[in-house]
């Protein structure tokens, strides 16, 4: 994985892919599947909805770090499997044959098999709505990876895969930060 410009990290998330979020509780790493996410601003800050119903949440709240890993369509069954079992009784890296890779700044590992990984610090937890706000500190991409199509959850157990990319960069020039 090579470094991906932090100022462009929001472009990995703006299309709303289903993501895998890794955490570390001090003893072991865990992974959960998250589809409720958003880009909050360009700096880049992201948010996701999650809470105590997930085993990962205790580590997230305690250590305030995570990695947002972006899987692709070939990983669909792992993505669903990870989101339907618990780190309380399962080593998900072993069960789903995923490789943890040490990050540069945070303790939760990157996932080698994913297209991109964004190391994040938790900067706020808005209890009332179970919103976790994260600031990205380093981003990584596997640019050599052939499969780049990400997954989008509909919410009823079906998924949409990335399709055609349409260019309106000129029209949007006034809304796109310099260098993006």
Contact 131, 19 (CB under 8 A): no
Which residue, 7 or 90, is less far from ligand FMN as judged by CB? 90
Q: Which of 22, 33, 117, 150 binds ligand FMN (CB under 6 A)?
A: 33
Q: Does 152 bind ligand FMN (CB under 6 A)?
A: no
Is the bond leading into 3 cis (omega within 30 degrees of zero)? no
Which residues are paired to 119 by β-bridges? Answer: 67, 138
- Which of helix, strand or coil describes residue 81? helix
Q: Does 38 bind ligand FMN (CB under 6 A)?
A: no
Q: Does 76 bind ligand FMN (CB under 6 A)?
A: no
Q: Which of 9, 22, 30, 141 binds ligand FMN (CB under 6 A)?
A: 30
Return d(Cα 105, Cα 148) in angstroms, integer.
25
Q: Does 22 bind ligand FMN (CB under 6 A)?
A: no
**Contact string (CB under 6 A) for ligand FMN, positions 79-108, x = contact:** -x--xxxxx---------------------
Q: Does 117 bind ligand FMN (CB under 6 A)?
A: no
φ, ψ of residue 175 to 5 degrees: the values are: -105, -5
Which residue, 48 or 110, is less far from ligand FMN as judged by CB? 48
How many helices (H) and strands (E) are present in the chain, helices listed first?
4, 12
The secondary element (H helix, E strand) that includes residue 57 is helix 56-63
Question: Tokens at residue 142, please?
Answer: 């596997």
Which residue, 19 or 136, is less far from ligand FMN as judged by CB? 19
Residues making contact with ligand FMN (CB under 6 A): 18, 30, 32-36, 49-50, 54-56, 80, 83-87, 153
């Amino acid at each position: 994985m090579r470094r991906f410009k932090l100022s462009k990290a929001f472009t990995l998330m703006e299309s709303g892919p289903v993501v895998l979020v890794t955490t570390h509780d001090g003893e072991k790493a865990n992974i959960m599947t998250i589809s409720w996410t958003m880009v909050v601003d360009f700096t880049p800050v992201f948010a996701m909805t999650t809470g105590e119903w997930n085993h990962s949440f205790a580590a997230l709240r305690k250590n305030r770090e995570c990695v947002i890993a972006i899987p692709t369509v070939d990983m669909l069954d792992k993505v669903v499997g990870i989101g339907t079992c618990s780190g309380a009784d399962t080593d998900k890296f072993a069960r789903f044959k995923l490789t943890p890779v040490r990050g540069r700044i945070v303790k939760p590992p990157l996932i080698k098999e994913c297209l991109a990984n964004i190391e994040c610090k938790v900067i706020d937890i808005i209890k009332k709505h179970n919103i976790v706000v994260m600031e990205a500190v380093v981003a990584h991409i596997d640019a050599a990876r052939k499969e780049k199509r990400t997954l989008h959850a509909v919410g009823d157990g079906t998924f949409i895969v990335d399709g055609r990319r349409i260019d309106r960069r000129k029209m949007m020039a006034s809304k796109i930060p310099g260098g993006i």
